[in-house]
């Protein structure tokens, strides 16, 4: 159990405000059980709607003991059961309604390369059909590194999304040579994420190693958001 600070020492007359703590204190309370947690992680979970701290008139976050325990539940579900945030939110909502929640059981054994789910593969003809382009266009995309085949042939199914976006941009006159800078920026961002999660992947604890994948996904989502916000800001436009 987490140690939550209590105010009003002496007469047991602490008010609700006395029990509210700053995000720095929350980090200290969580660090014993979750050494990898950061303030950025707590803010990200808030952004995703998994915790809703109060705000002071000056805008500072203030967390209740219930908020701290809820954060701990989220982090345990990620660490021990490898659940995505959407599923965790559904479980927490169900618990608040008094419903029983069945969590997947993990035996704690290290995950091997063969245990990991492999990416769904599609063939070249399937990729051409999905992206609605011809052989020459796909060859050009590959020559600029926008699309890459997997070892042994075929393509990751996620490449379909890239192909469709490249095709859509092409309709505005943007050619593959124009998109090399975008690809280079994406590779740099991926390298930065990999640099952050690499120590987690090398950790002795198999649960920490598995948690590295969830961390990489969250960092990727934040990176995409930041990229979109910077482009919109630079253009002076808003999507909503």
What's the per-residue H, E or C state across 163-192?
HHHHHHHHCCCCCHHHHHHHHHHHHHHHHH
For 79-127, write each residue's pLDDT tens digit. Answer: 887 777 888 888 888 888 888 877 765 544 444 333 334 446 788 888 8
Say what the pLDDT of residue 127 is: 85
Closest CA to 200 of 188, 192, 212, 190: 212
Q: How confident is the model at residue 21 (pLDDT cuts 50, 70, 90)?
A: very high
Classify residue 115 by its DSSP letter: G
For 25-39, write each residue's pLDDT tens digit. Answer: 999 999 888 888 888
- What is d(CA 70, CA 72) in angstroms, rounded to the nearest whole number? 5
Say what the pLDDT of residue 71 is: 94
Q: What is the mean pLDDT of the chain?
A: 80
Q: What percent of the chain has pLDDT over 90?
A: 21
pTM: 0.48
């Amino acid at each position: 159990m987490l140690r939550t600070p209590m105010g009003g020492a002496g007469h047991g007359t602490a008010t609700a405000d006395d029990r509210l703590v700053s995000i720095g204190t929350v980090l200290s309370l969580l660090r014993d059980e979750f050494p990898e947690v950061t303030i950025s992680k707590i803010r990200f979970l808030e952004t995703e709607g998994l915790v809703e701290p109060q705000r002071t008139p000056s805008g500072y976050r203030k967390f209740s003991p219930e908020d701290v325990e809820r954060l701990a539940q989220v982090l345990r579900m990620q660490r021990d059961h490898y659940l995505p945030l959407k599923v965790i939110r559904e479980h927490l909502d169900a618990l608040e309604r008094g419903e029983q929640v069945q969590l997947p059981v993990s035996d704690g054994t290290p995950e091997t390369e063969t245990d990991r789910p492999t990416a769904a593969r599609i063939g070249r003809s399937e990729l051409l059909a999905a992206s609605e382009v011809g052989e020459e266009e796909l060859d050009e995309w590959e020559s600029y590194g926008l699309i890459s085949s997997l070892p042994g042939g075929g393509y990751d199914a996620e490449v379909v999304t890239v192909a469709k976006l490249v095709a859509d941009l092409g309709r505005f006159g943007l050619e593959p040579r124009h998109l090399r800078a975008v690809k280079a920026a994406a590779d740099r961002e991926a390298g930065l994420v990999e640099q952050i999660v690499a120590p987690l992947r090398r950790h002795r604890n198999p649960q920490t190693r598995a948690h590295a994948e969830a961390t990489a996904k969250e960092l990727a989502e934040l990176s995409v958001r930041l990229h979109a916000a910077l482009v919109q800001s630079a253009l002076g436009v808003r999507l909503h």
